[in-house]
């Protein structure tokens, strides 16, 4: 305890009061200064170290940023390089597919069937005979109507009367006997129906066709009425009756006009060339210097379903060629269906005319309805 008191007293006392010299006090000041200098140096070193650390951190951040930018550049260049690789692969695949298609084409993969080229030209010329190369069906009908009315050269026999008509019918039969392979073509309807092409550019064939039509529709027309007869009531009644007959005969004429146009030569030399090329070796009908729409259709059908060679060709055809065959067949079916529709219209007119004629015949027998009762006698 005493020591502690002494130390406290010594500490609180100044150097002078303790009898210590000033030199010793100076030495104590140097120590403090040294300590301060040391603290200052340490602070300076710490500040320098801190700044160095901050500078190092900044450098690291800068380096990281540069590295990131460099990596981003690498990624961009890698993406571009990958895109170029993909583009090149697509170009190579396109060229490969093009080469494959070229090889298939050179190998005949896409070539049309041998008959397709010719058949297409034939289909396009269906109906090309709007102007017949010979005497068409309408020409035959007009000739028949002129004969019935006594008009022009065709009606000369009618103006002379019944004997002249009979003599001309017999004379034509004798003159045209055996024409077309028929014993009497002026009375044999097969002349028009069975011939694939009825070459009415031949005057004899045209004459036989006209006489056949006359013998069927209006074999013995009445003499034309004179101007004096037409002024009488009886003449007027007779003229009206003849008009009715002509109207009803026109239904028959419309059918024969259509059949005549089908069999009449048409289409010109181009269609004849097609027919000779497209017809199969087994085609049984004659192909002359004229062909009709009817024969064009016949050749098309015979060159397909009835032709064994076509079935073998079809088995070897590429799908594209088969599709062309289907398209041609569909076009033909549409055409034939339209032709059938035209004929059906004429047949309907004939049926209506026949019904009207039957009603007239019934009316002439009386229209009174029998009741079974007898009238009372007066």
What is residue 176's predicted lDDT score, i.e. its pLDDT?
A: 94
What is residue 319's predicted lDDT score, i.e. its pLDDT?
A: 82
What is residue 232's predicted lDDT score, i.e. its pLDDT?
A: 93
Given 110, 145, 173, the domain boundary residue is: 110
User: Are 187 and 272 part of one and the same domain?
Assistant: yes
Does the residue 12 lie in any domain?
A: no
User: Are 82 and 208 part of one and the same domain?
Assistant: no
- What's the whole-model pTM score? 0.62
User: Are 167 and 76 part of one and the same domain?
Assistant: no
User: Are 77 and 152 part of one and the same domain?
Assistant: no
Does the residue 203 lie in any domain?
A: yes
Distance CA 158, CA 150 (A): 5
- The Cα angle at residue 194 between residues 192 and 196, in degrees rounded to 5: 90
Which residue segment(s) compose the domain that 86 sits in? 55-110
Integer Rg of the chain from CA: 59
User: Are 184 and 292 part of one and the same domain?
Assistant: yes
User: Are 267 and 297 part of one and the same domain?
Assistant: yes
145-170: burial string, b at 16+ Cβ within 10 Å, e else: bbbbbbbeebbebbeeeeeebeebbe
User: Are 175 and 66 part of one and the same domain?
Assistant: no
User: Are 106 and 222 part of one and the same domain?
Assistant: no
Per-residue pLDDT 10s for the chain (378 aa) are 444 444 444 444 454 444 445 545 555 567 777 777 777 777 787 877 788 778 777 878 777 777 776 777 777 778 888 888 888 888 898 888 888 888 877 776 666 555 555 554 444 444 444 455 678 888 899 998 999 888 888 889 999 988 999 999 999 999 999 998 899 999 999 999 988 899 888 899 999 999 999 999 999 999 999 999 999 999 999 999 999 999 999 999 999 999 998 898 887 777 888 888 888 888 888 888 888 888 988 888 888 877 788 778 778 777 878 888 888 888 888 888 999 999 999 999 999 998 988 888 877 766 555 555 555 544
For the chain, count helices (H), then strands (E).
14, 0
Does the residue 31 lie in any domain?
A: no
Does the residue 374 lie in any domain?
A: no
Does the residue 133 lie in any domain?
A: yes
Which residue matches tokens 């004459």? 207
Distance CA 97, CA 103 (A): 10
What is residue 254's predicted lDDT score, i.e. its pLDDT?
A: 93
Question: CB 204: neighbour CB atoms within 10 A?
Answer: 14
User: Are 97 and 118 part of one and the same domain?
Assistant: no
What is residue 201's predicted lDDT score, i.e. its pLDDT?
A: 86
Distance CA 143, CA 233 (A): 30
What is residue 269's predicted lDDT score, i.e. its pLDDT?
A: 75
Does the residue 141 lie in any domain?
A: yes
Backbone angles phi and psi of 270, in degrees to 5: -60, -40
What is residue 114's predicted lDDT score, i.e. its pLDDT?
A: 55
What is residue 373's predicted lDDT score, i.e. its pLDDT?
A: 52
What is residue 168's predicted lDDT score, i.e. its pLDDT?
A: 93
What is residue 369's predicted lDDT score, i.e. its pLDDT?
A: 57
User: Are 211 and 349 part of one and the same domain?
Assistant: yes
User: Are 105 and 119 part of one and the same domain?
Assistant: no
Given 73, 88, 110, the domain boundary residue is: 110
Does the residue 15 lie in any domain?
A: no
Does the residue 323 lie in any domain?
A: yes
User: Are 253 and 336 part of one and the same domain?
Assistant: yes
Question: CB 82: neighbour CB atoms within 10 A?
Answer: 10
Report the domain count for the chain.
2
pLDDT digits (tens, 9 = 90+) for 94-125: 888 888 888 877 776 666 555 555 554 444 44
């Amino acid at each position: 305890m005493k020591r502690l008191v002494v130390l406290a007293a010594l500490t609180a006392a100044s150097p002078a009061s303790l009898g210590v010299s000033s030199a010793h006090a100076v030495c104590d000041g140097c120590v403090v200064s040294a300590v301060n200098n040391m603290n200052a140096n340490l602070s300076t070193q710490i500040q320098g170290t801190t700044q160095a650390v901050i500078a190092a951190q900044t450098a690291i951040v800068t380096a990281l940023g540069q590295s990131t930018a460099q990596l981003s550049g690498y990624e961009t260049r890698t993406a571009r390089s990958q895109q170029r690789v993909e583009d090149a692969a697509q170009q190579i695949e396109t060229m490969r597919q093009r080469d494959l298609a070229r090889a298939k084409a050179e190998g005949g993969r896409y070539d049309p069937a041998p008959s397709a080229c010719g058949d297409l030209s034939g289909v396009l010329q269906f109906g090309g005979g709007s102007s017949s190369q010979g005497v068409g069906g309408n020409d035959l009908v007009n000739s028949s109507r002129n004969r019935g009315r006594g008009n022009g050269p065709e009606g000369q026999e009618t103006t002379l009367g019944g004997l002249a008509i009979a003599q001309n019918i017999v004379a034509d039969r004798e003159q045209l006997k055996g024409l077309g392979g028929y014993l009497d073509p002026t009375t044999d309807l097969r002349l028009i129906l069975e011939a694939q092409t009825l070459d009415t550019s031949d005057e004899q064939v045209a004459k036989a066709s006209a006489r056949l039509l006359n013998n069927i529709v209006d074999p013995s027309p009445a003499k034309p009425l004179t101007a004096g007869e037409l002024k009488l009531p009886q003449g007027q009644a007779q003229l009206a009756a003849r008009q009715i007959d002509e109207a009803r005969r026109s239904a028959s004429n419309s059918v024969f006009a259509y059949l005549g146009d089908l069999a009449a030569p048409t289409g010109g030399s181009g269609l004849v060339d097609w027919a000779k090329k497209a017809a199969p070796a087994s085609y049984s009908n004659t192909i002359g210097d004229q062909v009709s729409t009817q024969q064009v259709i016949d050749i098309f059908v015979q060159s397909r379903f009835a032709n064994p060679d076509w079935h073998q060709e079809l088995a070897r055809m590429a799908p594209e060629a088969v599709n062309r065959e289907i398209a041609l067949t569909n076009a033909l079916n549409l055409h034939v269906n339209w032709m059938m529709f035209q004929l059906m219209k004429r047949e309907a007119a004939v049926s209506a005319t026949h019904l009207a004629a039957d009603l007239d015949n019934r009316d002439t027998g009386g229209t009174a309805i029998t009741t079974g009762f007898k009238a009372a006698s007066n």
